[in-house]
Amino acid sequence: MSVLVLILILTVVNVSIRVVPTFFVGKLELPENFVAFLNYIPIAALGVLVFPGILTAVETPTQGLLAGVFAAALGILRVPLFFIVVLSVAFVYVLMLLP
């Protein structure tokens, strides 16, 4: 099979998987519990991507965990995202200065 034919077949499959559901989503009536569950998926995916970095980005995993807890506490207190980032970086810097 030539590479061009393979690319065309993969393109058709990929586009059909992405386009066909858009015609049916408007007609479906999803339960509110399921919609609420779907709203949490991006948050869970972000957590899965961020957590390994918290453990490996600094000298010790303990420093990373403390910084993660600090950033989460700032988020719970509704501190703007810019300040969460800046204050968390400063917090890690101070932690790294401690013996």
Q: Which of 6-10, 32-36, 90-94 has the lowest mean pLDDT?
A: 32-36
Residue 54 and residue 11: Cα distance in Å, rounded?
Answer: 37
Q: How many domains in the chain?
A: 1
Q: For residue 47, what pLDDT is reported?
A: 84
Asked if the model's pLDDT at residue 14 lies above 80, the reply is yes
Range of the domain at 86: 3-97
HSE value, Cβ hemisphere, 13 Å, CA-based, for 28: 10
pTM check: above 0.85: no
Residue 62 and residue 57: Cα distance in Å, rounded?
Answer: 11
Asked if the model's pLDDT at residue 22 lies above 90, the reply is no
Q: pLDDT per residue over 64-95, tens digit each?
A: 999 999 999 999 999 999 999 999 999 999 99
